[in-house]
């Protein structure tokens, strides 16, 4: 049976950025960080499954709607065709988690009730829910640009790599 390697990527500041300011205002207000596209391609060619892990606190703060956040993730999947799925938490308490694919919206908080209250980073509920979907996981790596990303990876018991380092991989990298 084939062993699976999972690359979990924070989105904002790691692989995408807003075009208008500090935060993504609407689904089309985003652009890729160019180096991220190249690095995702390298990992994909090496057989990694690539998953987004993002906290969308703008929903809870009233800056955007849940519908807009879902559309934002779908737009990200268009921009990054090698990204297979995105988990996002839109509430401050970490009780809600949605999974977005090109075809579906999954209520992760209903599928994985054991992680209620743990979906918001630095807790590891989103990571743990993502990893539970793989039966033959051999490696997992979380990449992010904030301390909360690193702490979430540590809490999940997986390796972490800073986005600034990850986006410029050496030829013979190992983590």
Q: Where are the domains of the chain?
A: 4-167
Residue 87 scores a pLDDT above 60: yes
Residue 170 scores a pLDDT above 70: no
Which stretch of 67-76, 98-107, 132-141 has the lowest confidence by average pLDDT?
132-141
**What is the distance between the alpha carbons of residues 158 and 156, in angstroms, rounded to a whole number?**
6
Long-range contacts of 22-25 (CB under 8 A, 24+ apart): 23/58, 23/63, 24/58, 24/64, 24/72, 25/63, 25/64
Residue 7, pLDDT score: 97
Residue 167's closest CA among 44, 81, 40? 40
Residue 175, pLDDT score: 52
Between 1 and 125, the higher pLDDT residue: 125
Please check whether the domain covering 4-167 is classified as CATH 3.40.50.1000.
yes
């Amino acid at each position: 049976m084939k062993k699976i390697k999972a690359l979990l990527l924070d989105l904002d500041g790691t692989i995408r950025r807003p075009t208008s300011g500090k935060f993504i205002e609407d689904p089309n207000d985003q652009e890729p960080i160019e180096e991220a596209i190249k690095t995702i391609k390298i990992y994909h060619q090496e057989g990694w499954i690539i998953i987004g892990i993002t906290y969308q606190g703008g929903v809870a703060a009233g800056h955007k709607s849940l519908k807009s956040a879902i559309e934002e993730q779908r737009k990200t999947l268009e921009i990054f065709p090698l990204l297979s799925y995105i988990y996002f938490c839109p509430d401050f308490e970490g009780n809600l988690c949605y999974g977005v694919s090109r075809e579906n919206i999954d209520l992760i908080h209903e599928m994985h009730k054991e992680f209620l209250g743990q979906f918001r980073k630095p807790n590891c509920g989103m990571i743990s829910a993502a990893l539970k979907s793989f039966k033959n996981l051999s490696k997992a790596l979380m990449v992010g640009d904030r301390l909360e990303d690193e702490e979430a990876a540590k809490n999940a018991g997986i390796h972490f790599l800073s986005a600034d380092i990850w986006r410029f991989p050496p030829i013979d990298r190992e983590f």
